[in-house]
Amino acid sequence: MIGIIGGTGIYDPKSVKEIAVKEVETPYGDAPEVKIVEFNGKRVAFLPRHGKSHAIPPHRVNYRANIYALKQVGVDGIISTNSVGGISDSLAPGDVMIPHDFLDFTRGRKSTFYDDKVVHVDMSSPYCPEIREALIKAAGTISKVFSNGVYACTQGPRFETPSEIRLIKTLGGDVVGMTGVPEVVLAREKEICYGSVCIVANFAAGISEEKLTATELMEIVKENEATVRKIITGAIKNIPEHRKCECGRALEGAEV
């Protein structure tokens, strides 16, 4: 089953058949309720990352509970939706990027399920190649898509400074967001395939002279919801029924 992590507006309730609503108890605290729906003939689980009313800020999201809840309801592949700031000179608002790697600038977040033993999970290819391929194929029919890129995750909830963006650009970051990590790491620790579709909502600080407000950002996110829905719809059709990637064997040889 595929899990979708994002806002509540990423699917049209009229186009899906709701099967169940799951409230999953986790050892890590509360997770938002998971809606199981029939989507283009497939069972899909939707989880709102920031809660039902989008009230949880990025640095307070219970990422462990979210990933654990999806695993418990039977998810073995995740499509994450992310609104990002563009850093690369090639990217402009409205473009779509499917990341292949990430940079982690967060601090203090609970970023592993393994606090009681030593487990070194491999992150050579942090994003599942099969889900990436499905997203790239789907996005290419809808928008200008960049099939590779580095997602830089910052702590938030404030926006980044121009100097921070210059540093991230120097280190190879193409886009910046606040929610992609530790989601991607935790999914790998649970042997769940994980891919992300990043919609460039704005230029990052210092790339453009224009000041961005949170209100404007949310308006841009709303405008892009239809694009995200179309990409997800297409990607779900393209994801193989049976995994051949290494994601499902991520813990083999990882424990010391």
Phi-psi region of 72 (alpha: psi -120 to 50; beta: other; left: phi over 0): alpha
Neighbours of 158 (CB within 10 A): 9
The Cα–Cα gap between 74 and 156 comes to 31
Are 97 and 146 within 8 A, CB to CB? yes
Provide the 10 A C-beta neighbour count for residue 37: 19
What number does CATH give the domain 2-249? 3.40.50.1580
Rounded distance between C-alpha atoms, residue 123 and residue 56, angstroms = 28
Determine the longest span between alpha carbons in the chain, in angstroms: 50
What is the rounded distance in angstroms from the CA atom of residue 166 to the CA atom of residue 28? 36
Structure tokens at 189: 């620790």
pLDDT score for 152: 98
Please answer whether residues 86 and 207 qualify as being in contact, where contact means their C-beta atoms are separated by less than 8 angstroms.
yes
Distance CA 77, CA 41 (A): 16
d(CA 66, CA 1): 15
Residue-level pLDDT at 219: 78
Candidates 9, 66, 62; CA nearest to 33 is: 66
Mean pLDDT by 10 residues, the chain (256 residues): 80 69 93 88 89 86 97 96 93 93 97 95 97 94 89 95 96 97 98 95 84 74 82 90 93 92
Report the alpha-carbon distance of residue 147 to residue 140 in Å, rounded.
9
pLDDT digits (tens, 9 = 90+) for 79-129: 999 999 999 999 988 899 999 999 999 999 999 999 999 999 999 999 999
Q: How many alpha carbons fall within 13 Å on the CB side of residue 189?
A: 21
* Residue found by looking up tokens 């967060």 in the block: 106
Strands 150-154 and 145-146: unpaired
What does the pLDDT read at residue 161?
94
